[in-house]
């Protein structure tokens, strides 16, 4: 059974909360992609809309929103996410993961989505 640590960030208050998701609730997250908006009831936060912003795998490799699938790949990166160069023009081959949540993901990052106020 998959098990995830879900970090839920609230942009209005600036606070983040970690929620452990196990069993049936965790299986409902598998197959979701970065950028999708889900119902908070999936992780035990009813009444909230949450947007998936990223995550990391068992070895600490970050998920990239532009890399399709859930497999690990070694990509040549020149900037974030996944690599923060020390000097301008620096590039490095890094191990990263695709944008789809699999059972090998350990941490999932989410942000609370508030409805835009119309004026």
Write out pLDDT tens, residues 64-106.
999 998 889 999 989 888 889 999 999 999 999 999 999 999 9
The two beta strands, 72-77 and 49-57, are unpaired
| Of the candidates 84, 81, 26, 93, the residue with the CA atom closest to the CA atom of residue 56 | 81
Q: How confident is the model at residue 117 (pLDDT cuts 50, 70, 90)?
A: low
Whose tokens are 């998920």? That residue is: 63
Does residue 119 register a pLDDT over 70?
A: no
Q: Tell me the pLDDT tens digit for each residue of 25-66.
A: 889 999 999 999 999 888 888 888 999 999 999 989 999 999
Q: How buried is residue 19: exposed, middle or buried, by Cβ count under 10 Å (0-12/13-18/19+)?
A: middle
């Amino acid at each position: 059974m998959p098990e995830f640590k879900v970090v839920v960030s609230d942009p209005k208050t600036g606070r983040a909360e970690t929620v452990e998701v196990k069993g049936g609730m965790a299986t409902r997250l598998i197959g979701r992609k970065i950028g999708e908006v889900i119902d908070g009831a999936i992780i035990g936060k009813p009444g909230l809309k949450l947007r998936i912003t990223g995550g990391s795998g068992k070895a600490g490799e970050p998920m990239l929103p532009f890399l399709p699938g859930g497999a690990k790949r070694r990509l040549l990166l020149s900037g974030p996410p996944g690599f923060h160069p020390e000097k301008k023009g620096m590039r490095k081959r890094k191990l990263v993961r695709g944008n789809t949540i699999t059972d090998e993901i350990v941490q999932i990052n989410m942000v609370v989505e508030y409805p835009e106020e119309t004026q």
